[in-house]
Amino acid sequence: MSADAIEFTPLQATPLAPPAPAELERLNDVTVEVSVEIGRTRMTLGDALALGPGSVIGLHRLAGEPVDLLVNGRVIARGEVVVLDEEFGLRVTDVTGNRALGATAELGADPQPELPAETVVDAVAFEPPADVQAA
């Protein structure tokens, strides 16, 4: 068997025109999952299994620091938690641009944006409930 070299023509980037407003209106009724994330942490499985009522998990995010607004698991904005008639709400203070969301169109790109370093930590401090003996 002999292997012949194959030549490929380089691909050219084609600029896409922004969608017309009428095209985007079709998406107005699409339901998405919206969530607010106050922080993240990492812990061992043993630490997670040891959690119980009264456990406190350190998130290393200061009180009053903006929280993340996620749509379908992607950060799209940040804001501050507010209370509206005894229910929590979010006042949006910063909308994340497409640049920060990552280039998801690129092959192999991670669709989840990198969160700031302070939201992911390697250790967690928690206190077991008073009726549980520490190991």
pTM above threshold 0.75: no
- Which residues make beta-bridge pairs with 67? 79
Predicted local confidence at residue 1, as pLDDT: 61
- pLDDT by 10-residue block (mean), the chain, 135 residues: 79 81 84 91 92 90 87 93 89 76 37 41 39 43
What is the structure's pLDDT at 124? Answer: 35
How many residues are recorded in the chain? Answer: 135
CATH of domain 33-102+113-119: 2.30.330.10
| Percentages of the chain per state (helix, strand, coil), in multiples of 5 | 15, 20, 65
pLDDT value, residue 63: 80
Question: What residue ranges do the domains of the chain occupy?
Answer: 33-102+113-119
Task: Find out whether 71 and 32 touch, Cβ atoms under 8 Å.
Answer: yes
CA–CA separation, 81 and 78 (whole Å): 10
Which residues, in sequence order, are bridge partners of residue 88?
A: 83
